[in-house]
Amino acid sequence: MASRLGNPLYWITSWIAVIVIAAGIVVWLYFARPNYDPLGLLISAWGVIIWLGGRVIRYWLGGR
């Protein structure tokens, strides 16, 4: 049962990560200051961390 729960949680976190990474790219490309404002890159990094968290949840609940 837990492994079946891991897949939907992984997909939910993957979609959230895609949205966060896309938002980070938009902020980085369109709202960055000329002196290299790293806010967009930090937002994208959080998206990668969210995605990795989803992978960990899927791995952990899958019992592997």
21 Cβ partners below 8 Å, 6+ apart? 43, 44, 47, 48, 51
- Model pLDDT for residues 26-39, shown as the tens digit of each residue: 988 888 777 777 88
pTM for the full model? 0.81
Of 3-7, 20-24, 30-34, 57-61, which has the strongest mean pLDDT? Answer: 20-24
